[in-house]
Amino acid sequence: GAGVSQTPSNKVTEKGKYVELRCDPISGHTALYWYRQSLGQGPEFLIYFQGTGAADDSGLPNDRFFAVRPEGSVSTLKIQRTERGDSAVYLCASSLTPGRNTEAFFGQGTRLTVV
Amino acid sequence: AQKITQTQPGMFVQEKEAVTLDCTYDTSDPSYGLFWYKQPSSGEMIFLIYQGSYDQQNATEGRYSLNFQKARKSANLVISASQLGDSAMYFCAGPTGGSQGNLIFGKGTKLSVKP
């Protein structure tokens, strides 16, 4: 597709369950980012991939959160033992190359609700 | 660490008029850039405009322009000739540091364009 695609668009899960959120970046983009946006806030950085490797995971809130990008394209954000506080919109972005001055393209996000 | 501050939670503007959305930043980096993104109700973050600290002239993209004042550490977004479709959240963002492109965002400003 032409843009960053995220699935599902909405996910409702019960507290304690495991969820996977998928991001399909723009073809050819080597850099991929995950952000979390809580209600009324700006997005907060979670993790950055350059190719297949997680180059910076300093934003992951705890070890219940994990992300992979095994083939350097699609990425999956995995959340174990979900808590109500995990409810947020999870945004994925990609850029052609990593860089401080490089525009990132965002997907429409996955709205996660933990009940 | 860089800090981005947007002090206007909400703004109103009459259709066809210009509006300025404020953004101030705090960084110790000698070289940095600032981005503005628009987030409509659909949730996608749409890149609007970017300016680097060493750029000589203020950036312009169509109806969007940046009023970048290094001495005041401000990078205000000016939208000229507002349209109803401009109603959205607007976020200012800057790099967190290093050579990668993960961003830190302000809390955003909700712009409402009145007919």
Return the pLDDT at B72: 86
**Is it the case that residue B1 has pLDDT exceeding 70?**
no
B48 has pLDDT over 80: yes
Note whether B33 contacts A100, CB cutoff 8 Å. yes
Which of B47, B91, B101 lies at the smallest CB-CB distance from A100?
A: B101
Per-residue confidence band for B97, with pLDDT thresholds at 50, 70 and 90: low
Beta-carbon separation of B45 and A101 below 8 A: no
In degrees and rounded to multiples of 5, residue A84 shows phi and psi of: -60, -30
pLDDT of residue B43: 87
- Interface check A92 vs B, CB under 8 A: no
User: Is A100 in contact with B108 (Cβ distance < 8 A)?
Assistant: no
Decide if pLDDT at B65 tops 90.
Answer: yes
Judge contact between A34 and A75, C-beta under 8 A: yes
The CA distance from B11 to B89, in Å, is: 10
Residues 6 or more apart whose CB falls under 8 angstroms from that of B43 comprise A89, A91, A108, A109, A111
- Mean model confidence pLDDT for chain A: 93
pLDDT over 60 (residue A113): yes
Tens of pLDDT along A28-63? 999 999 999 999 899 999 999 998 999 899 999 999
More confident position, A96 or A35: A35
Q: Which residues pair with B90 in a beta bridge?
A: B38, B109
Q: How far is the CA of A32 from the CAs of A75, B37, B85, in angstroms?
A: 8, 17, 29
**B28 chain-A contacts, CB cut-off 8 A:** none
Checking if the pLDDT of B9 tops 70, the result is yes
Name the residue with higher pLDDT: A99 or A39.
A39
pLDDT of residue A21: 98
Nearest-CA residue of chain B relative to A102? B101
Nearest CB to B99; choose among A93, A98, A111: A98
